[in-house]
Amino acid sequence: MSTLLEVRDLHKSFAGEPTLAGVDLALKEGERRAIIGPNGAGKTTLLNLIGGQLRPQAGHILFAGQEISGWPPHRRAREGIGRTFQISSAFPSLSLSDNMLAAAQAGHSWLHYAPEARRRAEQLLELLALGAKAALPVAQLSHGERRALEIGLALAARPRLLLLDEPTAGLAAGETEGVTKLLQSLEGVALLIVEHDMQVVEKLADSITVLHHGRVLAQGSTLEIQANPQVQAIYLGKAHAET
C-alpha cells in the first residue's frame, strides 16, 4: 500500500502559543487512524491544517505525493479530502435531500444537476437510513441524525481520505453504535478520526497516534498504544474521568 497522506514537521501557533510543535504523521491508502490526546493537545488544529481551514506556519502536508499546504479548502476537497466538523448544522434551512444533492453536485456543472449526483445523493440517504426524512429541513432533525448527515455530506464526493472530528460526540449509546457501524462499512477510504471514546477507537482504528502538547507522544497499533505506560499515565487513566 502506498502512502496517501504525509505530514512533516508541522507547526502552528496562535498568538505566540504553539499549538502544534513539529508533528509528523503518515497514513497509508485505506488506513484507519485514530488521533487521541487530552484537551488542548492540538487534535482539531491538525485536522484543520490538513483540511485547509488553517494554514501552518511551517512544515509540509503531502497528499498523494503533492504538496497541498498552500491550497484552499475547496481544492483539497476536490482532490479527495472529505471532512466532518465537530459542531456543524450542515445547511439548516435546506431540506435533507437538498443538502445531500448539493454535496454530491460539487465539482459538477453549475447549470444542470448531474444524474450521477442525484443517484449518489439518494444512495447516501439510503445508506444513512434517512430516506424517510428526505424532505425535512435539516434544522428539524435530531442531533444523532445530523451527525450522520455530517458524515454523509463528507462522503458525497467519494473522498480518498476522510477527516472526522469527534463523529460520536454527544450521541446516545445506540446512536454511537450506528455511526461506528457506518464508518466500519466504508471501503477504499482512509480515515483520520479524532475521538474521545476509547471503545469507538478500538472498534474502528487500525492504529493510533497520541498527541500531547502539540507533539506526537506515541504512535502504533491499538494494542501497542494501550500497553504504552507513558500513554496510560497521561491519557488513558484520565480519559474516562474527563468525558
Partner 1 sequence: MDKLRQRAPLLIALALLAFIPQLLALVGLPGRQGAFWLSLLTQMLIWGLFALSYDLLFGYAGLLSLGQAIFFGLAIYGVTLSSLYWGFSPWEALGSGLLISLVGAMLVGIVAVRVPGHGFLIVTAVISLIVYLMAVAASGWTGGTNGVTVTIPSLDFGLLRLSLFDPRQGYWLALGLLMLSYAALRWLTRTPLGRALELIRENEPRAEALGYPTLRLKFVVFVISGSFAGVAGLLYALINQFASAGLLQWTVSANALIWTLVGGAGTLVGPLIGTALLKFLEYLFGGWWPQGYPLLLGLVLLLVARAAPQGIVGMLRAWRAQRELR
Partner 2 sequence: MALGLNLIYGILRIVNFAHGALYMLGAVLAWVLWPLLGFWGALIVAPLLVGVLGLGVEWLVLRPIEGRPLLSIIATFALMLIIQQTVLLSFGGGQQQLSNPWSWSFPLFGLRYPGYRLFVALLAMLSVAGLWLFLQRTQVGRWVRAVSSDGELAAGLGLPVPLVYGLAFGLGSYLAALAGVLVAPIVSVDYLMGFDVLIPAFIIVIVGGAGSLGGSLLVALALGEAENLLPFLAQPFLGQPMQPTLARALTLALLIALLLFRPQGLFGRRPVGP
List the single partner that 202 binds among partner 2, partner 1, none, CB under 5 to 8 Å by kind.
none
- Per DSSP, 161 falls in state E
Which of 7, 43, 45, 130 touches partner 2 by CB under 8 A?
Answer: 45
Q: Which is nearer to partner 2, 100 or 153 (CB)?
A: 153
- Bridge partners (DSSP) of residue 5 are 27, 63
Q: Does 64 bind partner 1 (CB under 8 A)?
A: no
Cβ neighbourhood burial of 105 (10 Å; 0-12, 13-18, 19+): buried
Quote the CA–CA distance of 106 and 161 in Å, as a whole number. Answer: 17
Cβ neighbourhood burial of 65 (10 Å; 0-12, 13-18, 19+): exposed
Q: Which is nearer to partner 2, 17 or 187 (CB)?
A: 17
Question: Where in 119-158 is the site for partner 1 (CB under 8 A)?
Answer: 153-154, 156-157
List the single partner that 45 binds among partner 2, partner 1, none, CB under 5 to 8 Å by kind.
partner 2
CA dihedral 179, 119, 134, 170 (to 10 degrees): 20
With a CB cutoff of 8 Å and minimum separation 6, the contacts of 97 are 121, 122, 125, 134, 135
Which of 54, 155, 208, 210 touches partner 2 by CB under 8 A?
Answer: 54
Q: Does 94 bind partner 1 (CB under 8 A)?
A: yes
Q: Does 199 bind partner 1 (CB under 8 A)?
A: no
Q: Does 237 bind partner 1 (CB under 8 A)?
A: no
List the single partner that 90 binds among partner 1, partner 2, none, CB under 5 to 8 Å by kind.
partner 1
Residues that bind partner 2 (CB under 8 A): 14-15, 44-45, 48, 53-54
